[in-house]
A and B are shown apart, each in its own frame.
Chain A
Amino acid sequence: MKKIKIFEYDCMLFFLTQGFSLISLNIYTKNVKTDAYLIPIIGTIIGIIPLLLFTKIKEKNSKLNINSLNIKIFGKIFGNIINTIFIILAFIIGAYIFFILTNFISVEYLYKTPLNFISFAFALPTIYILTKNISIISRSIVILIFIEIILFITSSLGLFGQINTHELFPIFQNNISEFFKTVFLHVSFILTPLFFLNIFSKNEIQNSKNLKKHTIIAYLIGNIVFFLTIFFNISILGIELIEVYQYPEYEVLKFANIAGFINNLEPALAIYWMINLFSFIVICFYYSKKSILQITKFKNTNKFNIFFSCTVLIICLLSNNIFKQFSITNLFIVISFIFICIIFFLWIIKNSN
C-alpha cells in the first residue's frame, strides 16, 4: 500500500476547499450583496462541526477507506450502490469544475479558440497525471501549492493598496434567512469536495497521529484564502462591478500594482485559478478511479488505465456541451452535501450499535 505524507494530504485538502471559489463570489453577491464577505467567516465556524465529525469517523476506522466502510456498514449490495453514487458524484463535480476551468480560459485568455480545443488541451495533462500512482500525484500537488502560494502572495501585495473600505458597506441589509441559506451553500461548497479525501484511510497517511490538527489547519487556511478572495473583490471592485463581470476574480487582478510600476499582471496571476481548478479536478477523478478499481477489483491496471483515460477524455469533452445547457444548480451541491451527511449519520448510528 502506497502511503501519502500528511503535508501532501493537507495540500489536497486546501485545493478541495478552493474548487468552487471561482464561481462562488457571483453567487454570494447575487444572494446577499455586500454581506458576501461575511459568508466565509460564519461558514467556516459552522462547517468545522461536520468536518470534525468526518475526521472522527476516519480516525475510528483507521484501516478502512470510504468504499470499504460503506460495504462494512451497509452490506455488499447497498454499500456498492452508495459507492457508485459517490463515484458518479465525483465525476459530475469534476466535470463541472473542468467546464468552469475551460470556460474561464476561453473567456479571459483564448476567446478566439474553440472551447473543445481548450478542453482537449487540458484533458491531456489530467489524463496523464491520473495514469500515475498516488505518490506522483501528491508530489505534483505539493509543487503546485508552492506556485500557488507565490501567486497568492504577489496578488495580495498588489491588491492591498487598492482596498477601499467604503465598498464594504452597507451590511446586514438582506433577509436573515437568505444570509443563512448562503452560509449553508458555502458549507456545502467547502465540505462536499472534502468528502473525496475519504478515499484515503487513516493508515494510508504517514504520521497520521495529528490528522485532526492538520485537517483543521488546512481547512482554516483554505477558508482564509477563500475569505480574502471575496474581501479583495468586494473592497476593490464593489458589488456593482462584480455583478457586471462574469469572472470578477480576473478583473480585480487588473488593479494589482506592486511599488507603482509592476502592473498588468493579471494574465500571470490568474494562473492561480487554473492551478486551483486543475488540482481539484485531478483529486475528483482520482477518487473515481480508485473507487472503480476497488469495487470492480480490476487486475489488469494497464487496460484499466486505457479504459479510464478514455472515459475521462469523453467526460472532459462532453462537459462543455452538457454544462453549457444544464448548469449544475446550487441545489445540486446542497443536496449532495445533505446526502453525504445522511450517510455519515447512518455510519455513526451503525457504529454505535
Chain B
Amino acid sequence: MKILKKIIVLFIIFMLTGCFDYKELNNLAIITKMAIDKNGDEFEVSFSIENTKSNTESNIIYTAAGKSISEAINNIQLTLPKKIYTGHLSIIIINEELAKNNLNQLINYLIKSKEYSQNFYLALSKDKSSKETINEISNLETKLSKNILSDINNEITFSDFLKTLIKPGIDPVLPVITIKDNTIDVSSTLALFNNYKLVAFSNENQSKGINLIYNKTKEMIIPIKSDNKNIATIKLSNINTKTKIKNNTIININIKENYTIKEINYEIKKQTINEIKNKTKNEIKKLIQEGIEISKNNDIDIFGFGNMIYKNNASYFNKIKDTWGTEFKKINPNIKINLITDDNLQQTTIKENNNS
C-alpha cells in the first residue's frame, strides 16, 4: 500500500507542476483586433497584434489568406514566430461580401472555437476592406492615444448578435465603420441583416431613430428651425426608451428625456418654449419613424417587436410567424415623448420673465 501511495504522489508531482504544455507571455502574440475579408473564393484574415516592445509602433498587422477562416488563421500562425492568443480580442471587423454571403460560416467557426471569449464586439467595414479599416484604426489610436472603439454608439458583442440571429421575431444589426479622409465614423451607419444576410445600410437619421428605440442613445443634439434664419439647438440628455406591448399588436414606445436649449440666435419668449418643445418632439418622432421605415422597407424586424409578441403570446405569434415580414409592416407603434425641462431652461425662462 505504501508503494502505491508513493507511486500516486510521484505522479501527482509531475502533473501538478504546471510545466506540461506551458506558454510564456513572451511567446504569445496577443491579438486585439481581427479583420476578416471575403475576396472571391478566399478569406483574408488580418490580426492586429499588440507589440510588446515599447520603442516601436504599438500594433503590428499580420495578414494571410486561405480557402476557409481556419486555414487563413493557420497560415498567419506559420508566418508568426509567436503563438496566437485570442483571449484579449476586442473586436472582429468583417467586410460587406462576407456579411452578404458567408456570415453563417463565420458564426459557426466562432461558436466552435473555444479560444475566443465570445464577449468581443462585431462591426462591419463599409467601402474599404476590413484589413484597411483595422490598419487605419491602429494608426489613429497610436496618434491619438485613444480607444476609437469606445465611440461606437450601438456596440454589439458576439453573444448579443448570436442571440438576435437565433431568436424568433427579431433580426440583427451591426455597427458600421467608415473611413473617409483620415477620419473614422463609427456611429452614423448601421448594417441591417435578414437572418444571415446583409440586406441594407441605414443613413444617419435612420440610425439615430434605431438607436433611440434600442435605448442605446443617452445624449443627442437636435437643431430646431424656427424659420429660415432662426435656429435653436436642443440638447437631449438622460434619454430613456421603454418599448411595451399591449393586446398583441399595439406597440408603445415611451421616451423620457431631459432637454436644454444650448444655443439660440433669436429672442426667447414664453410661447416659443412650447413651440420649441413641440418641434423637438416632432423631430424625435420623425427620426424614430425613419428608423422603423427602413426596417419595414426591407421586410425585417430589427426592433424585435415580433419577439415581444412571442414572449407575450407565443401561440398567437406561432400562427403569424411565417408571414411576420408582412404583418410587421402593419404595425404602427404609438410614440409618446415626455420632455422634462432642465434647470438650464428654467433659468432662461426666469431671465426672460424678469426682462419683460
Contacts and interface: CB of A to CB of B under 8 A. Distances in A.
Given A121-B15, A309-B4, A244 B111 contact: yes
B248 to A, nearest CB: 12
Q: How large is the interface on B (under 10, 10 to 19, 20 to 34, 35 or more residues)?
A: 20 to 34
B114 interface: yes
Interface string B293-315: 00000000000000000111111
B218 interface: no
Contact of B315 (A107, A125, A173, A302): A173
Contacts of B166: 240-241, 244
A240 B1 contact: no
A124 B8 contact: yes
Interface in B146-191: 159, 162-163, 166-167
B85 to A, nearest CB: 13
Contacts of B314: 170, 173
B311 A302 contact: no
Contact of B167 (A111, A113, A238, A251): A238
A128 B4 CA distance: 10
Interface in A147-196: 166, 169-170, 173
A113 B21 contact: yes
Nearest to B4: A306
B332 interface: no
B118 interface: yes
A61 interface: no
Interface in A230-254: 238, 240-241, 244, 251, 254
B4 A111 contact: no
A107 B114 contact: yes
A241 B162 CA distance: 8
Contact of A169 (B12, B311, B315): B311
A262 B215 CA distance: 25
A111 B159 contact: no
Contacts of A302: 1
A124 B12 CA distance: 8
A112 interface: yes
A137 interface: no
B230 interface: no
A110 B28 CA distance: 18
Nearest to B87: A264
B162 A244 contact: yes
Given A240-B163, A244-B111, A302-B1, A170 B8 contact: no
Contacts of B312: 169-170
Interface in A7-22: none
Nearest to A305: B1
B315 to A, nearest CB: 7
B170 to A, nearest CB: 10
A64 interface: no
Nearest to B311: A169
A233 to B, nearest CB: 13
Nearest to B118: A254
A111 B163 contact: no
Contacts of B114: 107-108, 111
A170 B311 contact: yes
A253 to B, nearest CB: 12
A125 to B, nearest CB: 8
A250 to B, nearest CB: 10
Contact of B310 (A111, A170, A251, A306): A170
B117 interface: yes
B135 interface: no
A306 B313 CA distance: 61
A127 interface: yes
B8 A241 contact: no
B119 interface: yes
Nearest to B166: A240
Contacts of B12: 124-125
A14 to B, nearest CB: 27
A125 B11 CA distance: 11
A129 to B, nearest CB: 11
A33 B245 CA distance: 22
B123 to A, nearest CB: 20
Contacts of B159: 241, 254
A111 to B, nearest CB: 5
Contacts of A121: 15
Interface in B1-44: 1, 4-5, 8, 11-12, 15, 21
5 contacts: A112-B21, A113-B21, A128-B5, A241-B163, A306-B4
Interface of B: 1, 4-5, 8, 11-12, 15, 21, 111, 114, 117-119, 159, 162-163, 166-167, 310-315
Q: Which 8 A-B pairs have the closest CB atoms?
A: A170-B314, A169-B311, A240-B166, A173-B314, A302-B1, A111-B114, A240-B167, A121-B15
Given A108-B114, A124-B11, A125-B12, 4 more contacts: A112-B21, A113-B21, A131-B1, A170-B311
